[in-house]
Amino acid sequence: MMALIDVNSMYCSCEEAFRPDLRGRPVVVLSNNDGALVAINRAAKALGLKRGEPYFRCRPLLEKNNVAVFSSNYTLYASFSARFAAVVESLAPRTFVYSIDELFADASHMSQVMSPEAFGRQLRTEVQRQTTLTCGVGVSLNKTLAKLCNHAAKTWPATRGVVALSDPDRLKKLMSLVGAGDVWGVGHRTEKGLAGMGITTALGLAQMDIRLARRLYGVTLERTIRELRGEVCFALEEGAGAKQQLVVSRSFGGRVTQLEEMQQAVTRYATRAGEKLRQEKRWARVVSVFIRSSAYETQGVPYGNQATEVLTLPTQDTRDLIQAAQTGLARIWRDGVRYAKAGVMLADLQDRETQLDLFTPPSLRRGSESLMATLDKINRDGRSRVFFAGEGIDPAYAMRRDLLSPAYTTRWKDIPAAFLR
DNA sequence: TCTGGGGTCCTAGGACCC
DNA sequence: TCTGGGGTCCTAGGACCC
């Protein structure tokens, strides 16, 4: 048995945790740059607000209904996420963190001690008690079915947040009530194609001819169908291995039109990528940089491009990353474009520096390791006290986050005070 | 004026090899 | 007149996830 535990409207719930005055009020959280809505609580959902909607477009509606609006406070959410995971891990033998707001837990051994239903309810109660977060729990025979049960737990209030099902007939009943597009692994494209063949429910998908599914949509959909039928195709730790690539990208607060400003942004992103790389204890050999105008560009020329640099030796040194990224940028930069976004990607990640062969010159960066370690130590708290001048000072490309809440759980001066009388 | 960021996996097609 | 078969590796792009 497998359980999926998933926090309801995670970002909103984190914002509400230290703000009892928000209880019952509609709350939304914006994406980076205050661009679009990424999280919506129950009361805001009732107003018809949708995930992905641009902020500027629904702003009048938000103001009219006195909706509490927040910029993304990732530090806060990551802190809550760690506490959430710790609670579940204290109750479940094997867990796998799937994302910031959900994790899978092996529930097979629990049957000795309690029913899957009771197990789910215990998880839910403890998470709420220790973190204030409300979560939904689905328990079933594999990941896809656990997801399906979780979907049911969130959709139907009568379930009180927990659905545990393994009986084939009851699973069938559930699948007949859930849309094919709500199945984990079925996206927009596939949902549309399936509908064209008259398959609109999860049950319809479960009964689809497997060879046809594989031919039309590939092996992934085949596995999904098999799981709906009760087979196990996705292991608990699926996707847990070392990262294949690492990306740092941001939309700009405004539009970037000057090369120098773009160079600063790319330096910043390469620096951040280096920090993440060293945190993961990996070395990178391939550095790519991309720049592009907005997908919604109406005034200027649409343009986007990417350049890839392959280093002779894998590196962990921010200076190498910046240099490679700048070389790439010089190749793809075009004047007269209103750039909206840029990013730096690291690939061909390796576990340690490759050994030099006879013909490779030794590294030119003496003392690189200790220099980077020192930088990381100084900048440990996330504020860049020491940085490369190429980043620029008080840059114009910086992201907009006008409605940021305090870092309640991670910064001393932001810890809320409670007064007793 | 204003539309997120960070990932994974799979597939098709081209280059190249014997 | 005729021009194989089988393989690997890499890349780009699509689909999906949260």
Tens of pLDDT, residue by residue over A126-158, are 999 999 999 999 999 999 999 999 999 999 999
| Calpha distance A80→A75 (Å, rounded) | 9
- Single out the residue of A129, A100, A99 nearest to residue A11, CA to CA: A100
Burial code of A252-289, b = ≥16 C-beta within 10 A, e = fewer?
A: bbebbeeeebbbbbbbbbbbbbbbebbebebbbbbbbb
Whether the CB of A144 is less than 7 Å away from nucleic strand B comes out as no
Does at least one atom of strand B sit less than 7 Å from the CB of A371?
A: no
- The protein footprint on chain C, as nucleotides within 7 A of a CB, is 11-12, 14-18
Residue A304, beta-bridge partner list: A292
**A5: β partners:** A103, A137
Q: Are strands A135-140 and A162-164 parallel, antiparallel or unpaired?
A: parallel
Calculate the angstrom distance between C1' of B18 and CA of A365.
42
Cβ atoms < 10 Å from Cβ of A15: 24
* CB of A246 lies under 7 Å from some atom of strand B: yes
A294 touches strand B (CB under 7 A): yes
Please give the DSSP secondary-structure letter assigned to residue A142: S
What is the average per-residue pLDDT within A249-259? 92
Q: Which nucleotides of B are covered by protein (CB under 7 A)?
A: 1-11
Least confident of A20-24, A79-83, A235-239: A235-239
Residues with CB under 7 A from strand C: A 98-102, 147, 183-191, 308
Say which nucleotide is closest to residue A151, CA to C1' distance.
Answer: C18
Question: Measured between alpha carbons, how far is A202 from A232 in angstroms, rounded to an integer?
Answer: 17
Of the pLDDT bands very low, low, confident and very high (cuts 50, 70, 90), residue A363 is low
Q: Is the dihedral of CA A144, A30, A395, A331 positive or negative?
A: positive
pLDDT digits (tens, 9 = 90+) for A102-125: 999 999 888 788 999 999 999 999
Beta bridge partners of A283: A350
Mean pLDDT of A16-30: 93
A219 touches strand B (CB under 7 A): yes
pLDDT-derived band of residue A358, with 50, 70 and 90 as boundaries?
Answer: low
pLDDT confidence of residue A133: 96
Instruction: Please check whether residue A348 is in contact with residue A314, taking contact to mean a CB–CB distance below 8 angstroms.
Output: yes
Q: How many other β-carbons are positioned within 10 Å of the β-carbon of residue A164?
A: 22
Check pLDDT > 90 for residue A91. Answer: yes
CA torsion angle for A235, A238, A242, A243 (degrees, to 10)? Answer: 170
Pair of tokens at residue A309 = 């640099």
Containing A46, the helix (H) or strand (E) segment is helix A42-46
Question: Is the CB atom of residue A156 positioned under 7 angstroms from any atom of strand B?
Answer: no
Note the CA–C1' distance, A97 to B8, in angstroms. Answer: 15
> Do A210 and A229 form a contact (C-beta atoms < 8 A)?
no
Q: Point out the nucleotide closest to A189 (alpha carbon to C1′).
A: C15
Q: Residue A39 has what pLDDT?
A: 95
Give the distance, in angstroms, between residue A208 CA and nucleotide C15 C1': 20
Distance A386 CA to B12 C1' (A): 46
- pLDDT tens, position by position, A218-247: 999 999 999 999 999 998 887 777 788 899
Residue A241 pLDDT = 74
Residues A252 and A367: their CA atoms lie apart, in Å, by 34
Residue A211 CA and nucleotide C7 C1' are separated, in Å, by 26
Q: What is the pTM of this model?
A: 0.90
Does the nearest atom of strand B lie within 7 Å of A60's Cβ? Answer: no
Residue at token pair 């139907």: A156
- As a rounded value in angstroms, the CA-to-C1' distance for A254 and B1 is 9
* DSSP for residue A214: H
Chain segment A283-317, per-residue pLDDT in tens: 998 999 999 998 888 888 888 888 888 888 889 99
From the CA of A144, how many Å to the C1' of C17? 13
pLDDT tens digits for range A376-406: 999 887 777 899 999 988 787 888 888 999 9
Is-contact A9 A40, C-beta < 8 A?
yes
Give tens-digit pLDDT for A192-212.
Answer: 999 999 999 999 999 999 999
Name the residue with tokens 């343009």.
A303
Q: Regarding beta strands A339-350 and A162-164, do their DSSP bridges make them parallel or antiparallel, or are they unpaired?
A: unpaired
CA A249 to chain centre: 13
What is the amino acid identity at position A54? P
Q: Which two tokens stand for residue A365?
A: 């960066």
Residue A182: CA count within 13 A, CB half-sphere: 21
Q: Which amino acid is at A185?
A: G
A345: nearest nucleotide, CA–C1' criterion: B6
For residue A53, give the nucleotide whose C1' atom is nearest its CA. Answer: B3
Q: In the complex, which nucleotide's C1' lies nearest to the CA atom of residue A194?
A: C15
pLDDT surpassing 70 at residue A357: no
CA separation for the pair A143, A123 (Å, rounded): 17
Mean pLDDT of all residues in chain A?
A: 91
Q: What is the DSSP letter of A285?
A: E
Residue nearest to nucleotide B2 (CA to C1'): A56
Question: Å from A56 (CA) to B13 (C1')?
Answer: 42
Helix locations, A353-399, DSSP H: 368-378
